[in-house]
């Protein structure tokens, strides 16, 4: 039975140890997932900010982005410091609990030692009394037998008195022996408890020493995090002042981007006018041909497929900045984003969205906002003039006047112009009106 209890205790201890190991591993995995998620969210936030600053001078973009990155770091440093403080406080509470347990154990040990000393004194007294009885017996002062008492007594009263005295001596001897055994048993129990308490005190002292060292390390770590936070806060204040001093530059840069947007509109109007002339000439030629042949069939320039126009990169794609109005985060200025920004790696190929002719190839030099830019004239389709524009390419694979088929490589993704990262900026124009590419069939996003 005792062996079974011992095995059960060992199994329980092992189970507790495994639980203590598994729980931190699970907690660590959860913490890691949270950190990864936070990192991804922070990166997405910065990516969104970069997209919203498109068209602003890149130096100003960098200044603002660095400020926001520092702001994120300050927030994270504050969280790290709070966590470090919590961990230190928890460890300090554990140290206080161990100290209280150690004090209680030391008090219990002293109480056990005092009880053992008192019982030892009682044991010595009992052993002394028993020794006196033994010495008396050795001297021949043995307790007389009942027969001796009966014949040696002069009267009944003498016999009763002598018999009572003899019984008292016997009871005293028996009581003293029982007391000695009781005290010895109690001392054995107390000595065993003393050994347990002494071992507990030794363990608690080890824990206390470990916690003292741990608290030193946690205090140092918390101080490091506090110093980092102070440094980041100082950096943030400096960056904020630097950015504030450039507010006028921001506004000037935004105005320049708006002027370039007007220039794009003029380019589109010119292409539409050429398409209108071609469509009119084609209609006139067709009418003349019909007059000669007597045919009444007309060619409207329609297409049977609703997916005739495709994105310049494969769909579904990840949109970093949607088409439409957006607010510059620093100045609060509203600006219209004429295209959809699509995540695309530097050097990734871009494809002709449909059959057409390259109307313009504008290099980045002198085209500061848009960078390397291509205008693709898709001609008149379904009775409307269609033009696609793509910006920020790293290099061209076409030239002006070149005919392209849908899927031909026209260039490669880059970060030219007033942008700080590689991506696709694609615009779709229908009859001189800028439309949202995502409203077209096949323009599907993954986010």
User: Tens digits of per-residue pLDDT, 34-57?
Assistant: 656 666 666 666 666 666 676 666
Peptide bond between residue 316 and the one before it cis (omega within 30 degrees of 0): yes
In CATH, the number for domain 53-244 is: 1.10.287
| β-bridge mates for residue 357, sequence order | 377, 403
Angstrom distance (rounded) from CA 158 to CA 406: 141
Q: What is the pLDDT of residues 375-391, one digit of tens each?
A: 999 999 989 999 999 99
- Name the residue ranges covered by the structural domains of the chain: 53-244, 250-292+311-439
Residue 263: predicted pLDDT: 83
Q: Across all residues in the chain, what is the average pLDDT?
A: 80
Whether 271 has a pLDDT exceeding 80, the answer reads yes
Beta strands in 96-137 (DSSP E): none
Residue 94, class by beta-carbon neighbours within 10 Å (0-12 exposed, 13-18 middle, 19+ buried)?
middle
Q: What is the pLDDT of residues 187-225, one digit of tens each?
A: 888 888 888 988 988 998 998 899 889 999 999 999 998
Least confident of 12-21, 213-222, 243-252, 339-348: 12-21
- H helix and E strand count, the chain: 5, 13
Name the fold adopted by 250-292+311-439: Glucose Permease (Domain IIA) (2.70.70)
β-strands 409-412, 395-396: how paired?
Answer: antiparallel
Q: Which residue would you say has higher pLDDT here, 193 or 256?
A: 193
Angstrom distance (rounded) from CA 352 to CA 405: 7
Angstrom distance (rounded) from CA 258 to CA 277: 29
Contact 133, 173 (CB under 8 A): yes
Whether 236 has a pLDDT exceeding 60, the answer reads yes
Residue 49: predicted pLDDT: 65
Q: What is the pLDDT of residues 405-425, one digit of tens each?
A: 999 999 999 999 888 789 999
**By three-state DSSP, how is residue 446 classified?**
coil
DSSP 8-state secondary structure symbol assigned to residue 353 = S
- Band (pLDDT 50/70/90 cuts) for residue 5 is very low
Retrieve residue 279's tokens: 């469509």
């Amino acid at each position: 039975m005792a062996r079974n209890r011992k095995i059960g205790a060992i199994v329980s201890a092992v189970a507790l140890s495994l639980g203590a190991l598994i729980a931190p591993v699970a907690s660590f995995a959860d913490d890691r997932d949270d950190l990864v998620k936070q990192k991804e969210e922070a990166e997405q936030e910065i990516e969104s900010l970069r997209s919203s600053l498109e068209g602003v001078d890149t130096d100003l973009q960098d200044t603002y982005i660095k400020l926001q990155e520092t702001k994120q770091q300050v927030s994270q440093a504050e969280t790290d410091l709070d966590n470090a403080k919590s961990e230190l406080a928890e460890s300090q509470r554990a140290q206080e609990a161990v100290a209280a347990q150690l004090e209680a154990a030391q008090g219990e040990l002293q109480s056990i030692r005092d009880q053992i000393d008192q019982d030892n004194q009682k044991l010595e007294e009992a052993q002394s009394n028993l020794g006196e009885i033994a010495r008396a017996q050795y001297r021949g002062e043995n307790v007389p037998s009942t027969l001796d008492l009966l014949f040696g007594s002069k009267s009944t009263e003498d016999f009763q008195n002598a018999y009572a005295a003899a019984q008292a001596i016997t009871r005293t001897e028996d009581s003293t022996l029982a007391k000695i055994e009781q005290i010895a048993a109690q001392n054995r129990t107390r000595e065993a408890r003393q050994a347990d308490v002494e071992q507990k005190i030794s363990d608690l002292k080890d824990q206390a020493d470990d916690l003292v060292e741990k608290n030193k390390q946690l205090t140092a770590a918390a101080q490091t995090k506090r110093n980092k936070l102070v440094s980041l806060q100082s950096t943030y204040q400096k960056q904020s002042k630097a950015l504030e001093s450039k507010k006028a530059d921001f506004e000037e840069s935004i105005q320049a981007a708006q002027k370039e947007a007007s220039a794009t509109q003029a380019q589109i109007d010119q292409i539409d006018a050429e398409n209108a002339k071609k469509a009119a000439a084609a209609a006139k030629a067709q009418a003349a041909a019909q007059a000669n042949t007597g045919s009444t069939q007309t060619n409207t320039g329609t297409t049977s497929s609703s997916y005739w126009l495709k994105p310049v990169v494969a769909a579904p794609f990840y949109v970093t900045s949607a088409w439409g109005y957006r607010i510059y985060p620093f100045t609060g200025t509203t600006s219209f984003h004429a295209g959809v920004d699509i995540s695309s790696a530097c050097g990734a190929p871009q494809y002709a969205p449909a059959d057409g002719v390259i109307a313009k190839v504008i290099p980045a030099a002198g085209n500061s906002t848009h960078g390397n830019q291509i205008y693709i004239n898709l001609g008149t389709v379904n009775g409307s003039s269609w033009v696609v524009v793509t910006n920020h390419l790293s290099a061209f694979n076409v030239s002006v006047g070149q005919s392209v088929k849908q899927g031909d490589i026209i260039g490669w993704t880059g970060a030219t112009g007033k942008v700080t990262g590689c991506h696709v900026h694609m615009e779709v124009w229908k009859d001189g009106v800028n439309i949202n590419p995502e409203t077209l069939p096949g323009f599907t996003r993954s986010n």
